[in-house]
Chains A and B, each alone.
Chain A
Amino acid sequence: MAINPINQEQQNPTSPQAAIAPLVQVEHLSRVIQTRAQKTTILDDISFQVPARSLFAINGPSGSGKSTLLNLLTGIDRPSSGRILFAGHEVRRMSENRLAKWRGQHVGIVFQFFQLIPTLTAQENIQLALELGGTMPRRQWRKRTQECLRLVKLEDYANRLPSELSGGQQQRVAIARALANDPPVLVADEPTGNLDSHTASEIFDLLAMLTHQAKTVIYVTHDPRLAARAKDGIELMDGRLVSESRQ
């Protein structure tokens, strides 16, 4: 199913330049939390690159700093030092409002616990993302919403509230919402952590499929098997980068 490309790099996915250039560059990133009682280093001098159109895994045990790293990448949290370049733009320098706008247009976020607006139906949740992102005119919203629901095979559930959907279905809606503004990057924090194994597999397959549609998918997992499915990724341990894999 075609998705209207808005990122220049996606227009020619086979060009060598597009294949080589990293979409995300992380340089000497650190995150330290200082309280009266103590100083805690969540992330310590992390540097890595995420290639465009890749399935990229951030792996590590609980407490390794994976979710914090993901929050830094999406601008949800701010680093103590270091920088993040997202398609050449430094994320850290933006204000909260600019970050929110940037996220709406450039990053689709999929949470472990779905985080759908409970009072809105599936299609309204997607439409909300279109309203907030502002990437396309209003007359195109309805069509785009239906496209996203078709992509995740939930076109028949458009008018259901989240409470009327299963966990897997909710996560599909969350993915559809994340895709609404056709962002180049999808970020997923333990997207299958709250699902049974069969559903988790389906959801992961869906995410992986998106790389064939010129998306870059960065996901956090503590499951080595899911981490192994990615061709590129990093492994964290106690806030430090212990390994990096690239293809």
Chain B
Amino acid sequence: MRAITKKAIKDVTRRKLRAALTIIGIAIGVLGLAAISTASSQLNASLSYSTNASAQPDISFTTTPASPALAGLLAQQPNVKRVQAGSLEVARWAIPSGHYPLALTGISDFHNVQINPFQLVSGHLPGAGEVLMESSDRSIQSLRVGDTITVSIRNVLVHLTISGFARTQGLPSATFEGLAFGYMPEDALESLYHLSGPTSFLIQVQDQSQRQATAQQLTQIIEGQHAHVLSASIGQSGTSAAQLINGLLSVLGILAAIALLLSVFLLLSTITTLIAEQVPVIGTMKAIGARRRQIMRNYLTSVALYGVIGTGIGLALGTLVAALLVSYINSLFNLDANPLSISPATIILCLVVGIGVPLLAALFPIWRGTRITVHQALSGYGLDGGARRRSFTGRFFGFLPQTAQLGIRSLSRKRSRTALTLLALALSGACFLAVQTTAYSFSTFLTQETNIYHADIFVNLAEPTPRETLAQALANTPGIAQLDGTEDQLVHSQWGDGVLTGITPGSPTYHQQMLAGRWFTANDTNVVVLSDKAANNAGKHIGDTISFNDGLHSATWTVIGIARDNNNAAIKLGVLLAPLAEVDAFQHLPASYMNSALIIAGNHNASAVTALAAQVDDALSAAGVQAVVETLAQVIAQNQSTFLIVEVLLYLVAVIVAVVGAIGLFNALVMGVLERRREIGILRSMGARSRQVALVFWTEGLTLGVVSWVIAIALGIPAAYGFVLLLGKLLVTLPFALNPLSLVWMLLFILVVATLASIGPVWGASRLRIAETLKYE
């Protein structure tokens, strides 16, 4: 092997810590790229397999019990390709920690399920007294084929034997949905619930463009057969899963790009340090005949080595991370997983990025560093060539000890390196601030929503239910101070899907936060108050009209106000508020029907609310009202757990960014020690103790930290705002909320990073031998 190649290898292996940190930096960048690229392709394949559009319903009706012959009648209608009738009821599944809602689907012919099909994973199809559970239900409670579960149906305990487990295409997992799923024979389900016929009709159409018209026509037929449509939905499920997954992957992709950018910064810092260390060697090589390109090739070989090793590690770890990520998301959304594979295109991309980017990034500092002449290289004494004027530190910081001034003054010695270090540290701080702000914005969002929807207990009803029925069911439940309801209906508009929310104006369960216009009055009809998000997305102002439909019914209402309401934050358009009676009328429901209830407890104490929620659950079940009852604390916890993955990933990136920033500062301080060896020797020869020498460099590190904090504020606040906005477009809309305390935390964070990064160089500087540092060349 050539000596010059051996030198390139030894330059890498000699400084093991620096090599390790640089390789880790490159590996992190490649890891992110490999993980996101691989996970994205795997998840897209899983999604396309698991959410087979051809098996999804185009129209779904929930009705009062209908005649079994209705399915055949609907199938004969124009544009109807397929009809699947059944029943869907919610029971209370007894689990060790209490109860969990279990949606039971009645199937009349298990061998002919063509819409929302499922795959028998283990066991057999259910017969009488049996239930086929969804595989993801095992995340709620450990279950096996042959086990018996106990469900409460209209306050009657029923024991069902688990015949097997199924996996349904496109169905999210039980923990994600907050609802377990199971299948039973249709006749058994009807018997349990005393139903006279099917209550669920799933329709597939021939011509998608006509599905709304078809839905309206079928509604009339259903109504004509003495069944009432309780709810209808048009469109296919699974798109929300795809949106969430793609949104999450996009966020992760952005974070991976930030990590890659910072690893480039780190590499630049490392290469600059390496070149600075090797100035005498460069001089020697030139003295004995090396041309610049030969020297450049030497250092580029070292960079390529960093790149190759880092890429190898990054690819391996990236594949592992991808596997974990895919497994987690598949479990969340109940997707079928293909065997993990990493495509050749991803490998090539990682190689290009992991080796090519470091080489490109290192080109300029190497070119610049190798232009030094032999004379300059061999005669560098480590002191500046003579100060040309009194440093500004002398003018403004004269009150500080000279050792501290030395540290501050060093910032102006190598301006480009200082700028690079400041930028890396500032980016670290800005990332930290962005993450803090996102987390704070989310908690603010939760607080805002709980201030608007003001209740201790939230009741989600399986179907629209009259308020009077609820009131009667809960008449003997003490401790309820207020009971009101809302009716949420998914609507479509030209600006995307929104949620039409019917509320009771004047109810203490809804605290409107008006931003413009006015609230509802008693005689208002065909009017709507838009959330600020909806108003912005639709470009609507007070007095404008807005048109929307739910597939069966359409309306054009006048905007009378704009209010803050970020409920259903993932919905594209936003929230449209209207009086409950108006929303019921829009859906052709009798007045005061609601699909969720808000209860204010007399005693807000946590344990009292929990007890009350259990009583409400029991009372509703006894009255045959199917509902999921949650306390405010449970709702908040579920929202927080849903956001948790995003928060964890954001903090993980913040930690990585901090590490990279610290390494950059570490390298800068090491270079400072190297360049100022003679200065250190002179200080020590004059009597400076180790801690005084250490103070010089620690001051430099802290000063860099403080200055970068100021820059980080300037960068971080708009970055945080941009990030929250981006999160809104990709995942969930959050109100931007900056906690001023975050700026203090950011300063502490940067100072900790600066101090940790200073430890090595400070220790090294304080231990330099005077004779070594004052030796002349």
Contact = CB atoms under 8 A, between A and B. Distances in A.
Interface of A: 35-37, 71, 74-77, 96-97, 100-101, 103-105, 108-109, 111-113, 115-120, 124-125, 127-129, 131-134, 177-178, 181
Contact of B10 (A74, A76, A111, A119): A119
Contacts of A36: 388
B281 to A, nearest CB: 6
Contacts of A105: 289
Nearest to B285: A132
Interface string B574-613: 0000000000000000000000000000000000000000
A113 B775 contact: yes
B291 interface: yes
B284 A117 contact: yes
Given A113-B777, A131-B3, A178-B288, 14 more contacts: A76-B374, A96-B373, A97-B291, A104-B290, A111-B777, A118-B281, A119-B14, A124-B6, A127-B3, A128-B3, A129-B289, A131-B4, A132-B4, A177-B288
B287 interface: yes
**6 closest cross-chain pairs (CB), A and B:** A104-B289, A119-B10, A132-B289, A128-B3, A127-B3, A76-B374
Contacts of B290: 100, 104, 132
Contact of B373 (A76, A101, A108, A133): A76
Nearest to A102: B289
A100 B286 contact: yes
B386 A117 contact: no
A131 B386 contact: no
B287 A103 contact: yes
Interface in B447-465: none
15 contacts: A71-B374, A76-B287, A97-B293, A100-B290, A112-B777, A115-B287, A117-B284, A117-B285, A119-B7, A120-B3, A120-B6, A125-B3, A128-B4, A132-B291, A134-B289
A127 B388 CA distance: 44
Nearest to A96: B373
A89 to B, nearest CB: 16
B10 A120 contact: yes
A39 B290 CA distance: 33
Interface string B1-37: 0111011001100100000000000000000000000
Interface in B747-777: 775, 777
Contact of A115 (B10, B284, B292): B284
Contacts of A128: 3-4, 7, 285, 288
B289 A181 contact: yes
Nearest to A74: B287
Contacts of B3: 120, 124-125, 127-128, 131
- Among B4, B289, B388, B775, the one with the most A-chain Cβ atoms within 10 Å of its Cβ is B289
B280 interface: yes
Nearest to B292: A97
Contacts of B283: 115
A100 B284 contact: no
B220 interface: no
B375 interface: yes
A109 B287 CA distance: 7
A71 B375 CA distance: 8
A105 B374 CA distance: 16
B775 A101 contact: no
Interface residues of B, number: 30
B11 A131 contact: no
- Among A105, A117, A127, the one with the most B-chain Cβ atoms within 10 Å of its Cβ is A117
B289 A103 contact: yes
B294 interface: yes
B292 A96 contact: yes
Nearest to B8: A119
Contact of A129 (B281, B288, B373, B378): B288
Interface string B624-665: 000000000000000000000000000000000000000000
Interface string B275-318: 00000110111111111111000000000000000000000000
A135 B94 CA distance: 89
A74 B284 CA distance: 13
A126 to B, nearest CB: 8
A129 B386 CA distance: 35
Contacts of A177: 288
Given A101-B289, A103-B289, A115 B374 contact: no
A119 B4 CA distance: 11
A107 to B, nearest CB: 9
B91 to A, nearest CB: 74
Contacts of B287: 74, 76, 103, 109, 111, 115
Contacts of B2: 127, 131
B289 A76 contact: no
B627 to A, nearest CB: 74
B190 to A, nearest CB: 83
Contacts of B4: 128, 131-132
A113 B285 CA distance: 15
A108 B289 CA distance: 9
Contacts of A119: 6-7, 10-11, 14
A37 B2 CA distance: 47
A8 B10 CA distance: 39
Interface in B252-292: 280-281, 283-292
- Among B3, B285, B378, B386, the one with the most A-chain Cβ atoms within 10 Å of its Cβ is B3
A76 B386 contact: no
- Among B2, B7, B290, B293, the one with the most A-chain Cβ atoms within 10 Å of its Cβ is B290
B281 A117 contact: yes
- Among B6, B284, B386, the one with the most A-chain Cβ atoms within 10 Å of its Cβ is B284
Nearest to B389: A36
A115 B280 CA distance: 8
A75 B11 CA distance: 28
Contacts of B284: 111, 115-117
Contact of B288 (A35, A96, A109): A109
Contacts of B10: 119-120
A74 to B, nearest CB: 7
A200 B291 CA distance: 32
A195 B512 CA distance: 89
A100 B373 CA distance: 10
Contacts of B777: 111-113
A6 to B, nearest CB: 14
B378 A115 contact: yes
A124 B8 CA distance: 13
A112 B777 CA distance: 7
A100 B290 CA distance: 6
